[in-house]
Amino acid sequence: AARLGEAKQTIPHFYLRRDILLDELLRFRSQANKQLETRGVKLSVNDFIIKACALALQAVPDANAVWAGDRIIKLKPSDVAVAVAIEGGLFTPVLKDAHLKTLSTLSTEMKELAALARDRKLAPHQYKGGSFAISNLGMFGIKNFDAVINPPHGSILAVGAGEKMPIVNEDGEIAVATVMSVTLSVDHRVIDGALGAEFLSEVKTNLENPIGMLA
């Protein structure tokens, strides 16, 4: 808590928000889980978010960067940290090379790391590294929020709950869609507004076209 308090005071945060249409992802997830049931794998929406962000870091490599005190260091692999709430605190285990892993592998690995985090048994190499993190409070019904960047990361994505709401579709008609709000907190020393917007747009594209994440 003290570390994040200091981070909030010393890191020049700015925030970018997007709404993401989830219905295609939810349909795809339902079909995939039926096929994966015999293997004991059940994909969560968060698994897709991890994959979408990992691929976006590769598509927008300048966003895959950290602040090293007086300079920017760019990273090559998509090592994605995911916040896990534990009693009295928070751990952020890191999924290494997330862009190279299948959704089912990411799902299994995330469950294992989350269990270790809750038991306070994570080894240092399991929670250090990466340039980017995800904090998802959607399961608690939170619509949107601003997450604090975990230094030296360059950014963190705050994920809210998916909610059914009216939208205007591509045909100009009113329709009901499942919409999820996300907020990207960015360290302005590392990522400027245009770069952050490009990265967030890539995340949105991946989530709204989930089959593309299998290519």
Residues taking part in catalysis: 188
Mean pLDDT (the chain, rounded): 95
- State mean pLDDT over 87-101: 94
| CATH number, span 2-208 | 3.30.559.10
Domains of the chain, by residue range, sit at 2-208
What whole-number distance in Å separates Cα of residue 13 and Cα of residue 131?
Answer: 15
- pLDDT band at 87, cuts 50/70/90? confident
- pLDDT band at 88, cuts 50/70/90? confident
Neighbour-count burial of 163, counting CB atoms closer than 10 A to its CB (0-12 exposed, 13-18 middle, 19+ buried): middle
What does the block give as tokens for 23? Answer: 């219905």
Per-residue pLDDT tens over the stretch 10-68: 999 999 999 999 999 999 999 999 999 999 999 999 999 999 999 999 999 999 999 99
- pLDDT band at 2, cuts 50/70/90? low
What whole-number distance in Å separates Cα of residue 206 and Cα of residue 212?
Answer: 7
Per-residue pLDDT tens over the stretch 174-205: 999 999 999 999 999 999 999 999 999 999 99
What whole-number distance in Å separates Cα of residue 203 and Cα of residue 215?
Answer: 15
pTM score, two decimals? 0.95
